[in-house]
Structure 1
Amino acid sequence: MKLATYKDGSRDGQLVVVSRDLSTAHYATGIAHRMQQVLDDWGFISPQLQDLYDALNQGKARHAFPFDPKQCMAPLPRAYQWADGSAYINHVELVRQARNAEVPATFYTDPLMYQGGSDDFIGPMDPVVVPNEAMGIDFEAEIAVVTGDVAMGSTPEQALDAIRLVMLVNDVSLRNLIPAELAKGFGFFQSKPATAFSPVAVTLDELGDAWQQGRLHLPLQSTWNGRKVGNCDAGPEMTFHFGQLVAHICKTRNVRAGSIVGSGTVSNKGVEVKGKMQWPKGYSCIAEKRCIETIQDGQPSTEFMKFGDSIKIEMKTADGQSLFGAIDQEITAPV
């Protein structure tokens, strides 16, 4: 099934069930008001939502209305935890190569991860408000999962069983703030402003054969100012699958229902054509493009985003249907 959260003036919004083709929706008021309620009592509430979802897809839901992604908050408007990994080692390799640094051997066996702010997510069509263009504004197209409870010490296989929902991410980064923050030795903070998520979150059964062993095998499209710059395959080159990422978090603590875990920037390796490396599938963040330019030309030439720029992130099924709806945002200055 597909779930979304509509704006209603509150911090947590109103839960809605959305049809498979994203054309209609229905308030879930009689079952649950908020997404977190569903995650806290998944075994009891989700079958009731599934019944409503089936009725909606069959055209039998009595109070259905047209689905409008502009009315959406993030599916989970605030969460107990937002932990973002860097599961595509190609992205790490490019970043390291651009600054002539080796990739530590442990990076291939132990996931990189940071803990981001989870108290203030933004909706899929809300503006991305940044204090200053000079901060180096970048998008990052990613995939994320939402978990149920996961016990401390769970294996990757056990962690996979606790995944409830999947959604898309725009993990906004302020690149020019990152070096000074990392130099402090405590990781990202001000360089990672509010994160945006897709209009709907979907259950694993909606993904069909595209979901294999904790990876989502579909292309993730990134369109910057109306030009498609990325169509990266999210599946085969994901070094650590979502079960491994969740298990990494719960090595020393419990993970509670409503935790969101991100994949990191979806990234594909380049291919050699006539002795020169090319990246036919593009990129899922500007920083990666700049790394490629630095490796090839000695310096980056692509600038970061400006006020008024737009970014659209979307994933489509093999038959061309939007799976999660699109993140479609504009970069703006504070009012």
Structure 2
Amino acid sequence: MRLATRRDGSRDGRLMVVRRDGEALLDAGPAARTLQDALDRWEEAEPKLRALAESLDAGRAAGVPLDPHALHSPLPRAYEWVDGSAYLNHVRLVRKARGAEPPPTLESDPLVYQGGSGVLLGPTDDLPLPDPGWGLDLEGEVCCILGDVPRGTRAADAGRHVRLLCLANDVTLRNLVPGELAKGFGFFQSKPATAFSPFAVTPDEVGPAWRDGRLHLRMTVRWNGQVVGTVDAGPEMHFSFFQLLEHVARTRGFTAGTILGSGTVSNADRARGWSCIAEQRALEMIDGGAPRTRFLAAGDTVEIEVRDGEGRNVFGTISQRVRAP
């Protein structure tokens, strides 16, 4: 089952179910008005949503044509946005490029930060760039949308709390990062609003590609229409979503409507490309002593998507343009 949120002038939009071919939507109002409403009542709402999706797929219900520009983020605002850094190749590269050693607990203790969740971008919203000197970067990620998570949840039980999967462009203002990290208190200004994919999907929608708490599909990233990455999201995710969830739930619980991110999808095989510019610049620093690839500029376009074995665009495409003020 695939779900989307259609803009309707309200803060939280209108929940829609998505036809299997991704070309039509059906109002989910009989089951839940918003995605947050559905998450709050998941045991009651999910069967009703599935019935609507089956009716739409079978042609028994008349949907409306899907316009990606009419869609918001599946959750236009979330209770929390917690992001990990589960692909250790990415961590090692960016730290090596700046002459920093990875933490000694890199392989045993996940890196996480908490981003802003009150304002989230839709899949076709512009990426604002108030100052080119801030170094705007894209970041392709996989995310889980969670139900209620009790404190102390263990990885072995974490799967029962994963409601939906989606993609994110977790943009970073790279040139603001060093100054913030030097304060010893983490990211804030360097992490503006994150954009999410048009659709959020139940894990069964991707079949065996969802296993061991990882999405075993390839993410395609395009910059100005050119493919810069076809990165595999599965095997090199060192910490699974289940392990990330155990880590963040160690000292507190989370409410339904929390989003958990994987961090930048990254592969050691350079032939796979990259899903953030900082990684390519790190390779250039390591190989030649200086970065050559620029950061995003006004007018640039970014596209992020994942296709399954049938070639179906599972989450729809994040398709954004960088906009000057």
Q: Same fold (TM over 0.5)?
A: yes
Alpha-carbon distance in structure 1 between the residues aligned to 2:290 and 2:150: 46
Q: Is 2:154 the partner of 1:155?
A: yes
Secondary structure of 1:107's aligned partner: coil
> Would you say how many aligned residue pairs link Structure 1 and Structure 2?
325
Identity, in percent, stands at: 52
Q: Which residue of 2 aligns with 1:52?
A: 52
Alpha-carbon distance in structure 2 between the residues aligned to 1:30 and 1:319: 31
Q: Which residue of 2 aligns with 1:273?
A: none
Alpha-carbon distance in structure 2 between the residues aligned to 1:199 and 1:283: 22
Q: Which residue of 1 aligns with 2:165?
A: 166
Alpha-carbon distance in structure 1 between the residues aligned to 2:261 and 2:72: 18
In structure 2, give the amino acid aligned to 1:90.
N
TM norm structure 2: 0.99
Secondary structure of 1:115's aligned partner: strand
The 5 Å alignment of 1:76-115 reads 76-115=75-114
Q: Which residue of 2 aligns with 1:13?
A: 13
The structural deviation recorded for 1:116 is 0.2
Query: How far does the alpha carbon of each residue in 1:124-157 deviate from its partner, in whole angstroms, 9 at most, with x for none?
Result: 0010112111110100000000000111111012
The structural deviation recorded for 1:105 is 2.4
The 5 Å alignment of 1:13-32 reads 13-32=13-32
Question: Is 1:249–1:255's contact at 8 Å kept on the other side of the alignment?
Answer: no
Question: Is 1:159–1:246's contact at 8 Å kept on the other side of the alignment?
Answer: yes
CA RMSD, 1 decimal: 0.8
Q: Which residue of 2 aligns with 1:3?
A: 3
Gaps of 5+ in 1: 271-278
Query: How far does the alpha carbon of each residue in 1:228-277 deviate from its partner, in whole angstroms, 9 at most, with x for none?
Result: 0000000000000001111111100111111000000000003xxxxxxx
Q: Which residue of 1 aligns with 2:289?
A: 298
The structural deviation recorded for 1:207 is 0.9
Alpha-carbon distance in structure 1 between the residues aligned to 2:60 and 2:265: 38
In structure 2, give the amino acid aligned to 1:72.
L
In structure 1, give the amino acid aligned to 2:283.
I
Alpha-carbon distance in structure 2 between the residues aligned to 1:154 and 1:243: 9
Q: Is 2:123 the partner of 1:124?
A: yes
Runs of 4+ in 1 over 4 A off after TM superposition: none
Q: Which residue of 2 aligns with 1:183?
A: 182
Secondary structure of 1:280's aligned partner: helix
In structure 1, give the amino acid aligned to 2:296.
M
In structure 2, give the amino acid aligned to 1:149.
D
Gaps of 5+ in 2: none
Alpha-carbon distance in structure 2 between the residues aligned to 1:59 and 1:132: 49
The structural deviation recorded for 1:100 is 2.5
In structure 2, give the amino acid aligned to 1:305.
L
Q: Which residue of 2 aligns with 1:209?
A: 208
Which of 279, 290, 301 is residue 288 of structure 1 equivalent to?
279
In structure 2, give the amino acid aligned to 1:105.
P
The structural deviation recorded for 1:181 is 0.6
Secondary structure of 2:106's aligned partner: helix
Question: Is 1:140–1:285's contact at 8 Å kept on the other side of the alignment?
Answer: yes
Query: How far does the alpha carbon of each residue in 1:159-202 deviate from its partner, in whole angstroms, 9 at most, with x for none?
Result: 22100000000001100111101111111101100100000000
Alpha-carbon distance in structure 2 between the residues aligned to 1:49 and 1:163: 17
Alpha-carbon distance in structure 2 between the residues aligned to 1:72 and 1:246: 28
Alpha-carbon distance in structure 1 between the residues aligned to 2:59 and 2:118: 36
Alpha-carbon distance in structure 1 between the residues aligned to 2:156 and 2:21: 31
Alpha-carbon distance in structure 2 between the residues aligned to 1:321 and 1:49: 21
Alpha-carbon distance in structure 2 between the residues aligned to 1:159 and 1:333: 41
The structural deviation recorded for 1:87 is 0.3
Query: How far does the alpha carbon of each residue in 1:72-120 deviate from its partner, in whole angstroms, 9 at most, with x for none?
Result: 1000000000000000000001012112222222010010000000000
Q: Which residue of 2 aligns with 1:234?
A: 233
Q: Is 2:324 the partner of 1:325?
A: no
